[in-house]
Chain A
Amino acid sequence: MIEWLLALLIVSGSFFGFTAALGLVRMPDIYTRMSTSGKAATLCCGLLLAAVAIQLQDARVTARVVAAILFLLLTVPVGAHMIARAAYRTGSPMWKGDATGPSESASREKQ
Chain B
Amino acid sequence: MKLFLMNILLAISWCALTADASLANFLAGFVVGYAAMAMSPVRKISRGYFRRLPRILGLLVFFLKELVASGLRATMEVLSPVRKSQPRVIRVDTELRERNHLLLLSQLISLTPGTLVLDVDPEEGVLYVHAMFAHSEQAFLQELRGGMERRVREVFD
- Interface on A for B, CB 8 Å cutoff? 15-16, 19, 22-23, 26-29, 31-32, 34-36, 39-40, 42-43, 59, 62-63, 73-74, 76-78, 80-81, 84-85, 88, 94-99, 101-102
The minimal Cβ–Cβ distance linking B123 to chain A, given in whole angstroms, is 17
A85 x B119 contact (CB < 8 A): yes
Q: A39-B112, A77-B106 are in contact. Are A97 and B118 (CB under 8 A)?
A: no
Name the A residues within 8 Å of B75 (CB-CB): 15-16, 19, 36, 40
B116 x A35 contact (CB < 8 A): yes
The minimal Cβ–Cβ distance linking B90 to chain A, given in whole angstroms, is 12
Name the A residues within 8 Å of B136 (CB-CB): none
Which of the four size classes fits the interface of chain B?
Answer: 20 to 34
Name the A residues within 8 Å of B113 (CB-CB): 35-36, 39-40, 43
B78 x A22 contact (CB < 8 A): yes
Name the B residues within 8 Å of A74 (CB-CB): 107
B22 within 8 A of A: yes
The minimal Cβ–Cβ distance linking A46 to chain B, given in whole angstroms, is 9
B111 within 8 A of A: yes
Name the A residues within 8 Å of B116 (CB-CB): 31, 34-35, 80-81, 84
B71 within 8 A of A: yes
Name the B residues within 8 Å of A97 (CB-CB): 83, 85-88
Would you mind naming 5 contact pairs between A and B with Cβ atoms under 8 Å apart? A31-B130, A32-B85, A35-B132, A39-B112, A40-B74
Inter-chain CA distance A70–B77, complex, in Å, is 27
Name the A residues within 8 Å of B86 (CB-CB): 96-97
B130 x A35 contact (CB < 8 A): yes
Name the B residues within 8 Å of A96 (CB-CB): 86-88
Name the A residues within 8 Å of B36 (CB-CB): none
- Sort A-B residue pairs by CB-CB distance and give the 8 closest, nearest first: A77-B110, A97-B86, A39-B113, A23-B78, A19-B75, A77-B107, A36-B74, A43-B71
B7 within 8 A of A: no
B19 within 8 A of A: no
Inter-chain CA distance A80–B106, complex, in Å, is 11
Name the B residues within 8 Å of A43 (CB-CB): 67-68, 71, 113
